[in-house]
Amino acid sequence: MFKLNSWNENEKYFSSKIAQNVISTACGSDVVASACGSDVNTACGSDVVASACGSDVNTACGSDVVASACGSDVNTACGSDVVASACGSDVNTACGSDVVASACGSDINTACGSDIKF
């Protein structure tokens, strides 16, 4: 488990606290997470931009994914289902990893088995 900061569970994750945090995963990917936008370079080579205010995701398969603060379901060209929201989401990627992303902190279990908290 990689943790950016040791904030307690009751503390709100303001964008000023989590903006521009970078994680180097077990796969060597860089994860930049913020409440209003993040870049995720996955082990599968996809670029993911996630945001509490809506985002575009360009996957390794060339699909465009739009995720909103209210939550959205996306069925990508690779057949993965993506549910993204500002307050928690589950993403099942084409590579079989489960991703939980949230504007107020999240756990990511990557295809390489690393847990990432941001």
* Total Cβ atoms within 10 A of residue 55: 19
Q: What is the pLDDT of residue 92?
A: 38
| pLDDT tens, position by position, 35-77 | 344 444 443 444 444 443 444 443 434 344 444 333 344 433 3
Q: Residue 16 in 3-state DSSP?
A: helix
Q: Which residue's structure tokens are 């709100």?
A: 12
Band of pLDDT at residue 105, cut at 50, 70 and 90:
very low
Q: Could you tell me the sign of the dihedral formed by the alpha carbons of 85, 106, 44, 54, in that order? A: positive
Separation between Cα atoms, residue 107 and residue 101, nearest integer Å = 7
Band of pLDDT at residue 110, cut at 50, 70 and 90:
very low
Asked whether the beta carbons of 13 and 106 are under 8 A apart, the reply is no
Q: What is the pLDDT of residue 8?
A: 42
